[in-house]
Structure 1
């Protein structure tokens, strides 16, 4: 299995090879680096828990390296660049931001300061200022001085799905709608897909928007790409089973909340029951703290949908096949 073919490359082993590599060789590693034995052109940097076990990936091309997602903190962004260049012995020449969450875009200026182009879709770019301002209210003081001093500003490759020619590679950038964020990019290359937080491996979902229906549609779109290797925003890479597992997780969240017949305002005891059950079912999942915002967000979303549908009507006398069917 692809996930089992990952080889841990420690900071010590990277340091031993630094003399033969390109610049940034003295940058220490606070996270860890993993290189898939199945395809050594791809590597993964996983940050520490302090920055939410966030993954950045790199793809080695004939003319350099492309990084996928630029991390939560500027210092960690520098580590990603250093790790990619140590392992590949090539320069990072471009990076791509997959969706508007700080763990995907906060390192933008660190890359740009090294002359590295950072790209994203027009939709993601348009959302970054508001998201960055909102998250800075929560995180800036906690992480100071290791927090961006200005709003990150990647470049836009446009508003539609396109092929990006970077580092001698042809990467298909799928522009997708809402899921864990209000807009997404998924990168398809050969039989690989890089999906950001639309998929997590053994971690609770960031359901801040409560957008479960859109998220499930994104998973269907990813499956349609037919890739054999899936590279998630958190956790190790794997196969198509990661997408299947993510769908099952989201459907479980929805079913547990729906069973409480949500109305507004949210009922604290019911939300706690749902959270406790999710923690019980997914005992080995990291970041249960995400459930603090996830469960209320899904509750609000389902309550709003119920209110929009209006009160339930008594069954009519018409035959069953003539009755309207409710959306799942």
Structure 2
């Protein structure tokens, strides 16, 4: 006997109910903190939260980068703000579990989406944002608009149409020092390297350096159109500092900077060597990429997602360097 079809009103009711359930779940996902963040203490005053080893995705809710904070006698200094507004909220909530002191300042190591999309929570809390002035060029650029559109698509609902790109309150023209709550801080400019506006923050009493994306620990770095020659110089600068602790933009902190900078350095050198040879021999990129032996790095996290983009960006960079000679 044939099964009777449900009436049109019944079907419409089911569709409306399903849609309502979906909308409610999306609203709840957007309102809730992305995930619980576990602070890792690296010195008397300094902490950080550790992002996922892969690229930003719906699976990790955009939590693939690190952010740090320093609790002084009087206030809190934050380094980077993570990659979505809910993650910024979660980072602030994590800080609040350890200290009720006001968050006075956020130091941005660079203006990449995974490090500053969480700024809104800190601005709402009254914090002042500092960054290097080279970051001004990012705002209003096609790159900024394209990245926001991509994140709204790939990281919805954690990044959506309400996500704002927040500029610094103070744009730094060079390195500087400041004292806060009995601690001395030093900002050094490293860019253009991974990004045009790269900087690092040193907590002098603790011997802790927050270096942003100059170091990717345990994963393939995102290179894109970076100035890899200057990036390599910045790596040498970091290694020469011999900090007690180096807090990276991605991956676990390091207590042996010289050793842990090796993967990022070796990868950048290999990109420059292989793509530079192709440019010199006028080999098209597709052919150069196909003939390059990537086995040394192919098992490292984020290789599949990042390597081809990195190689192409390096190819274009080395073409420009060749033309400038």
TM-score, length-scaled by structure 1: 0.76
Q: What is the match of residue 314 of structure 1?
A: none
Matched, 1:66 2:71: no
- Asked if 1 retains the 8 angstrom alpha-carbon contact of 2:103 and 2:125, the reply is no
Q: Which runs of 5+ in 2 are unaligned?
A: 1-30, 53-59
- Asked if 2 retains the 8 angstrom alpha-carbon contact of 1:192 and 1:228, the reply is yes
- Asked if 1 retains the 8 angstrom alpha-carbon contact of 2:176 and 2:187, the reply is yes
Equivalent of residue 88 in structure 2, options 71, 77, 80: 77
Q: 3-state DSSP class of the match of 2:38?
A: strand
Matched, 1:39 2:43: yes
Shift of 1:47: 3.6
Judging changes above 3 Å, is the alpha-carbon distance between structure 1 residues 43 and 127 closer, same or farther for their aligned structure 2 residues?
same
Judging changes above 3 Å, is the alpha-carbon distance between structure 1 residues 171 and 288 closer, same or farther for their aligned structure 2 residues?
farther
Shift of 1:261: 4.5
Q: How is 1:282-297 mapped onto 2 (pairs within 5 angstroms)? A: 282-297=298-313
Q: What is the match of residue 154 of structure 1?
A: 168
Q: 3-state DSSP class of the match of 1:84?
A: helix
Q: 3-state DSSP class of the match of 1:146?
A: coil
| Larger RCO (CA within 8 A; separation ≥ 6) | 2
Q: What is the match of residue 15 of structure 2?
A: none
TM-score, length-scaled by structure 2: 0.77
Q: How is 1:234-245 mapped onto 2 (pairs within 5 angstroms)? A: 234-238=250-254, 239-240=256-257, 241-245=259-263
Q: What is the match of residue 30 of structure 1?
A: 35
Q: What is the match of residue 225 of structure 2?
A: 209
Matched, 1:107 2:118: yes
- Asked if 2 retains the 8 angstrom alpha-carbon contact of 1:262 and 1:300, the reply is no
> Bigger CA drift: 277-286 or 132-141?
277-286
Q: 3-state DSSP class of the match of 2:253?
A: coil
- Partners of 1:266 and 1:52 in 2: CA distance: 36
- Asked if 2 retains the 8 angstrom alpha-carbon contact of 1:175 and 1:185, the reply is yes
- Partners of 1:29 and 1:166 in 2: CA distance: 30
Shift of 1:272: 3.5
- Partners of 1:279 and 1:110 in 2: CA distance: 42
What is the total number of aligned residue pairs between the two structures? 281
- Asked if 1 retains the 8 angstrom alpha-carbon contact of 2:34 and 2:86, the reply is no
- Asked if 2 retains the 8 angstrom alpha-carbon contact of 1:98 and 1:120, the reply is yes
Q: Which runs of 5+ in 1 are unaligned?
A: 1-25, 310-328
Q: What is the match of residue 325 of structure 1?
A: none
Judging changes above 3 Å, is the alpha-carbon distance between structure 1 residues 132 and 304 closer, same or farther for their aligned structure 2 residues?
closer
Shift of 1:198: 0.9
Q: How is 1:1-328 mapped onto 2 (pairs within 5 angstroms)? A: 28=33, 30=35, 32-36=37-41, 39-48=43-52, 49-51=60-62, 53-130=64-141, 131-147=143-159, 149-190=163-204, 191-238=207-254, 239-240=256-257, 241-261=259-279, 266-274=284-292, 277-278=293-294, 280-309=296-325
Shift of 1:199: 0.5
Judging changes above 3 Å, is the alpha-carbon distance between structure 1 residues 282 and 188 closer, same or farther for their aligned structure 2 residues?
farther
